Amino acid sequence: MPLFLSTREAGFEAAFTALLGAKREEAQEVDDAVAAIIADVRARGDAALIELTARFDRLQLTPATLALSPEEINAACAAVVSEDRRALETAAERIRAYHVRQVPEDARWTDPEGATLGWRWGPVASAGLYVPGGSASYPSSVLMNAIPAQVAGVERLAICAPMPEGRINPLVVLAARLSGIETIWRIGGAQAIAALAYGTETIAAVDKITGPGNAWVAAAKRRVFGRVGIDMIAGPSEILVIGDGTGEPDWIALDLLSQAEHDESAQAILITTSAAEGQAVAAAVERQLPGLVRRAIAGESWRRHGALIVARDLAEAAALSDRIAPEHLELCVEDPEALLPRIRHAGAVFLGHWTPEAIGDYVGGPNHVLPTARSARFSSGLSVLDFMKRTTIARMTPAALAAIGPAAERLARAEGLQAHGASVRTRLDRLNRS
C-alpha cells in the first residue's frame, strides 16, 4: 500500500523526512560494475562494445553493423503507419516551436570607462543523445533531445539506442530522421556512454551527452562528466499532484499511474487539502491498475513509493511540494494561477484539471528531460542552452586600461601573483611615457 500521511498527525514530520530521504535505486554495486565497463571500452574499443552488446542485449554485431544502415533506416521509417507519423510530426513541430524561443542573444556594450564588454553564444561541436530501449523505448525522447541540439546549431549529432535482440523501433528511427539525425548506434547502457565519451575505432567521441536512462546509464554519465559535458543525472520518474477537492479522482489516479508505469522505482504522490479526495483517488488507482498492460510495474511503484498526503491548506501543500522539488508537478486545483507563485521548485508545472502531465511527455512543447531526485531545487530541464556555450568578450582602450588597470595590479599583488600584476603594469608604464 502507498504511504498515507496527514500534516495534522503528530509523527508527520518524521515520516515526511523519511519519505524525502528514501533511496529508490541502489547505486554502489551498479557504480562498481559501470566503472569496469567504462575501463573495458576505453581499453578495447569496438571489441568491448561488441562483446557487451552480445551479453546485455543478446545482439551480435560487427564494427560495420554498430550503426543502422541507410537501408535499415529507410525500411524502419516506411514501417510507421500514417497516423503515428502525423502524431510524431505534430510533436516535432510543437517541440521545435517552443525551443526556438530559447535561443539566446549575443550582447556588446561600452561601459563608462570605455571598455567594450559582452558575450557571444555558440553551439557545442558534437553531441551524443541517449535513448532508452529497455523495458520501454521512447521516440519522444529522441525529439526532446535532438531538436534542442539542432536548434542550437550542433554540427554533429548521433543517437545511441539499445535494440535488444535486434529489435528496431520504427518510431525511434523516424523521430531521428525528423530531427535531422541519420547516425543511430544500436548500443546502449554504460558501454554506449563510454563510447560517446572516449570514442572507439568506429564511434567518434562527442563533446556533450544528454538523455535519460536507467541506473547504469546514470552512473556512467556521472563517471564521464568532466571528459564530456552531460545534461543531468536522471533518476526514476516522479509526479506530484496538488489537489483541493475539485478534481476528478479517476483523472488524478491515471495521472499518478502515468509515471508509476515507467519504472518500479518511479514515484507518484498526491498532496490534497481534502481527505475525501485522497481516499477517492486511492480507490481509483486500485480500480485502474488491473487494466494497465504495465500493471505489475505500476503496481510495484505505487505500493513501494507512492504517497497520499493530506495538508491543512494549499499554502502548506505548496511548501511540502517545494521540499520534494518534483520532476513533474500538476496543480489540479480550482485556481492554479493563484497557486503557481507559491511554487519555487519543480522541473515542470502543469496547470489545471485539463493539463495532464502526459501532454508534456509528447506534444506540449516544453522538454520532458527534467531534473529528478529533488534536483529541481538547483537545476532545470533540458533546453537549447544545454547545447550552447557562452564566451565572454572584453576589449580595453588605453583610457579604459588607465582607469581600471591599477586596481587589477593591486589585487594581483595582494594575491601574490607577480606576473599578473606586471602584465598590467608594463602597459600602464607605456601609457605614462606617452
Whichever domain contains 205, its CATH number is: 3.40.50.1980
- Judge whether 14 lies within some domain: no
Q: Which three cell numbers stand for residue 381?
A: 530541464
The range of the structural domain enclosing residue 420 comes to: 396-433
**Domain ends where: 232, 253, 285?**
232
Instruction: Give a yes or no: residue 187 inside a domain.
Output: yes
Residues 240 and 196 both lie in one domain: no
DSSP 164: G
252 and 210, same structural domain?
Answer: no
Residues 6+ apart with CB under 8 A from 394: 115, 116, 117
Please report the DSSP string for 189-219 in residue order: HHHHHHHHHH--SSSPP-SEEE----HHHHH
Per-residue pLDDT of the chain (434 residues; tens, 9 = 90+): 799 999 999 999 999 999 998 876 656 789 999 999 999 999 999 999 999 999 999 999 999 999 999 999 999 999 999 999 999 999 999 999 999 999 999 999 999 999 999 999 999 999 999 998 755 668 999 999 999 999 999 999 999 999 999 999 999 999 999 999 989 999 999 999 999 999 999 999 999 999 988 889 999 999 999 999 999 988 889 999 999 999 999 999 999 999 999 989 999 999 999 999 999 999 999 999 999 999 999 999 999 999 999 999 999 999 999 999 999 999 999 999 999 999 999 999 999 999 999 999 999 999 999 999 999 999 999 999 999 999 999 999 999 999 999 999 999 999 999 999 999 999 999 998 87
Kindly state whether residue 116 falls inside one of the protein's structural domains: no
Whether residues 368 and 414 fall in one domain: no
Cβ contacts of 236 within 8 Å, gap of 6 or more: 24, 25, 262, 263, 265, 266, 267, 372, 373
The backbone torsions φ and ψ at residue 178, rounded to the nearest 5 degrees and listed phi first, read: -65, -25
If asked whether residues 226 and 360 sit together in one domain, one would say no
Q: Are residues 97 and 209 in the same domain?
A: yes
CB of 130 within 8 A of CB of 165? no
**Which of 158, 163, 221 shows the shortest CA–CA distance to 194?**
221
Question: Do both 152 and 59 map to the same domain?
Answer: yes
- Rounded Cα–Cα distance for residues 252 and 254 (Å): 5
Indicate the residue among 213, 232, 251 that finishes a domain: 232
Under a CB-based contact definition with an 8 Å cutoff, are residues 37 and 52 in contact? yes
Same-domain pairing of 227 and 241: no
Q: Nearest 5°: CA angle at 202, between 127 and 216?
A: 60
User: How many Å from the N-terminal Cα to the C-terminal Cα in the chain?
Assistant: 83
End position of a domain, from candidates 190, 207, 232: 232
pTM (2 d.p.): 0.93
Same domain, 228 and 335: no
Question: Angle at which helices 139-152 and 170-178 pack, to 10 degrees?
Answer: 10
Output the DSSP codes for 10-70. TTHHHHHHHHHH--SS--HHHHHHHHHHHHHHHHHTHHHHHHHHHHHH-----GGGSB--H
Same domain, 72 and 143: yes
What was the pLDDT predicted at 234? Answer: 83
> Is 75 found in the same domain as 134?
yes
Cell readout for 406 is 591599477
In a domain, 15, yes or no: no
Are 211 and 131 within 8 A, CB to CB? yes
The DSSP output letter for 290 is: G
pLDDT at 136: 60
Percent of the chain with pLDDT over 90: 93
Question: Domain count of the chain?
Answer: 3
**Is residue 390 in a domain?**
no
Look up 420 and say whether it is catalytic.
no
Residue 184 lies in a domain: yes
Is there a domain that residue 3 lies in?
A: no
Choose the catalytic residue: 99, 262, 305, 328: 328
Is-contact 135 400, C-beta < 8 A? no
In contact, 183 and 128? CB cutoff 8 Å: no
Rounded to whole angstroms, how far apart are CA atoms 139 and 175?
Answer: 6
Active site residue 327: yes
Is 20 part of a structural domain of the chain?
A: no
One domain for residues 221 and 239: no
Are residues 223 and 326 part of one domain?
A: no
Q: Which of 238, 261, 327, 330 is catalytic?
A: 327
